[in-house]
């Protein structure tokens, strides 16, 4: 690679200008871009406009794009050949999201959620604010890497397209249609997604498998209206009694899910994967202690990382019915409801799993009962090929910054965009992020370690050079 596009002076620029990078992140964090609350609609757009201005100043052709909901941001950089470049260098799509979760409950924050606080902690300084790590801080790791390349070389070493979503925290309802409608424009060699964690603060990670998600609400209807439990109790269907009895049958004595066909398409991790996960030295005791527990749970005969990364699950996330206010009200409720989330592994079809859930419930429908099923989200699991030259280049770039070798890990969480990009655009993604397990995403006092922000910017700067060398 030509010295004109060397990464070394870029890394030096990242270090020199880091305090300015931190300040720009704080500016973005002050915009309360809460996508779930209509009251913040104007702030969501303001955040999109802010990002367009920043990217435009770095040589990108950037614009706000309308969707049926909140807007997306799309930006293109032609790379070192300018507009005349016809594909001689790699073309990378970078994805992130600029919307954030609501900050409530506000009383649990140690500082105002949209007034970033820089505080001293175990690993040095940390940024505390809503969106600090999910995902504004992570988005700024690659934008600030672009800035450093632009400052040193006046260009980027590869072609880059940026897609920033404004609806990730509401389930990305308009993302797949947007990808399909703009597939030609968003075409690239691979997508880099920065919305995951490092293994620890000193060890970077690339996430090679994520679970998908099927999220449903099941309501069992019974009597036409609430009934007096003295006058009717013991003589009529009680939907709460029936629902809890049915929910208690979802798992068998070994923790396996009993929906028909649930495990049909589940592949076992390879011996190589199991050995790799074992060598990570995961401390299950510390993992449990961090949430106030001591005893492992879940599918019997599996390690914690197997359960989290390679096995599907079903969890009851909420259950309600009847009177739940202060004091007493003795009623038999006319209906009872529960929310269920299934985390799915690659190759499981959310539609097939949904059919299994419906079959399971219908087989257990009590006399005079009827089901109402609502589906709030469905996305497939994702497995990333580990033999990709782009993944190897990303690992090399991380190796240029960190002393510890990058880990290839799984994730129990779900990031629908990876599956959507494969479905709509036809190429794979590389999930490389710099968050930590204790960053309190979606919770009060969300934070991002300043060291992680700095290492993230340096890593993206180094990865750009490694991609260019392919």
**Of 379, 413, 445, which marks where a domain is finished?**
379
312 and 456 share one domain: no
- Phi/psi for 408 (5° steps) reads -100, 115
**Of 379, 395, 417, which marks where a domain is finished?**
379
**3-class secondary structure, 430:** strand
CATH, residue 116: 3.40.630.10
Beta strands 91-97 and 159-165 are parallel
Per-residue pLDDT, 1:
37
Per-residue pLDDT, 86:
55
Tokens of 167: 């609806």
Tally of domains within the chain: 2
Per-residue pLDDT, 290:
87
Per-residue pLDDT, 415:
85
**Of 361, 379, 397, which marks where a domain is finished?**
379
Per-residue pLDDT, 4:
43
253 and 153 share one domain: no
Q: Are 132 and 116 in contact (CB under 8 A)?
A: yes
Residues of the chain with pLDDT under 70: 1-4, 83-87
309 and 200 share one domain: no
101 and 189 share one domain: yes
* DSSP 8-state secondary structure symbol assigned to residue 388: -
CATH, residue 370: 3.30.70.360
Beta strands 370-379 and 159-165 are unpaired
312 and 188 share one domain: no
Cis peptide leading into 435, omega within 30 of 0? no
Q: Which residue has the tokens 């750009």?
A: 464
Per-residue pLDDT, 448:
98
169 and 131 share one domain: yes
For residue 274, tell me if it sits in a domain: no
311 and 421 share one domain: no
Distances (CA, A) of 384 to 38, 207, 208, 348: 36, 8, 5, 15
174 and 28 share one domain: yes
221 and 336 share one domain: yes
Question: Which residue range forms the structural domain that includes residue 322?
Answer: 212-265+301-379
101 and 170 share one domain: yes
For residue 270, tell me if it sits in a domain: no
For residue 279, tell me if it sits in a domain: no
**pLDDT digits over 398-419, tens only?**
999 999 999 999 999 888 898 8
For 387, residues 6+ apart whose C-beta sits below 8 A from its C-beta are none
Q: Model's pTM, two decimal places? A: 0.87
């Amino acid at each position: 690679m030509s010295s004109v596009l060397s990464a070394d002076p870029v890394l030096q620029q990242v270090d020199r200008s880091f305090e300015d990078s931190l300040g720009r992140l704080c500016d973005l964090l002050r915009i309360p871009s809460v996508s779930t609350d209509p009251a913040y609609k104007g702030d969501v757009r303001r955040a999109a406009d802010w990002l367009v201005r920043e990217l435009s100043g770095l040589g990108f052709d950037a614009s706000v794009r309308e969707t049926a909901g909140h807007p997306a941001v799309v930006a293109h950089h032609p790379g070192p050949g300018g507009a005349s470049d016809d594909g001689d260098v790699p073309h990378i799509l970078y994805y992130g999201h600029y919307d954030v979760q609501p900050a409530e409950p506000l009383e649990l924050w140690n500082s105002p959620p949209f007034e970033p606080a820089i505080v001293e902690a175990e690993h040095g300084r940390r940024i505390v604010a809503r969106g600090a790590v999910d995902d504004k801080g992570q988005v700024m790791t690659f934008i600030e890497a672009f800035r450093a390349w632009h400052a040193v070389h006046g260009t980027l070493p590869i072609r880059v397209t940026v897609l920033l979503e404004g609806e990730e925290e509401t389930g990305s309802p308009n993302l797949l249609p947007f990808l399909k409608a703009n597939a030609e424009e968003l075409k690239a060699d691979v997508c880099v997604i920065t919305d995951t964690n490092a293994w620890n603060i000193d060890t970077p990670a690339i996430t090679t498998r994520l679970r998908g998600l099927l999220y449903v609400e099941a309501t069992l209807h019974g009597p036409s209206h609430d009934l007096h439990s003295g006058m009717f109790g013991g003589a009529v269907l009680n939907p709460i009694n029936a629902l809890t009895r049915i929910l208690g049958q979802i798992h068998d004595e070994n923790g396996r899910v009993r929906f028909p066909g649930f495990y049909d398409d589940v592949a076992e991790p390879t011996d190589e994967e199991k050995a790799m996960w074992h060598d990570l030295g995961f401390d299950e005791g510390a993992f449990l202690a961090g949430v106030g527990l001591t005893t492992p749970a879940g599918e019997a005969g599996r390690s914690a990382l197997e359960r989290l990364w390679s096995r599907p699950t079903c969890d009851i996330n909420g259950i309600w019915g009847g009177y739940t206010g202060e004091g007493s009200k003795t009623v038999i409720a006319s209906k009872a409801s529960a929310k269920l989330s299934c985390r799915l592994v690659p190759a499981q079809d959310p539609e097939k799993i949904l059919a299994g859930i419906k079959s399971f419930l219908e087989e257990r429908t009590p006399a005079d009962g009827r089901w109402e099923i609502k589906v709030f989200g469905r996305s497939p699991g994702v497995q990333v090929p580990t033999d990709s030259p782009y993944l190897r280049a990303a690992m090399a770039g991380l190796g240029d910054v960190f002393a510890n070798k990058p880990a290839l890990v799984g994730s129990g969480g779900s990031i629908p965009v990876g599956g959507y990009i494969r479905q709509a655009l036809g190429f794979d993604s590389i999930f490389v992020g710099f968050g930590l397990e204790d960053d309190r995403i979606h919770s009060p006092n969300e934070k991002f370690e300043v060291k992680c922000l700095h290492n993230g910017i340096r890593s993206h700067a180094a990865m750009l050079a490694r991609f260019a060398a392919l």
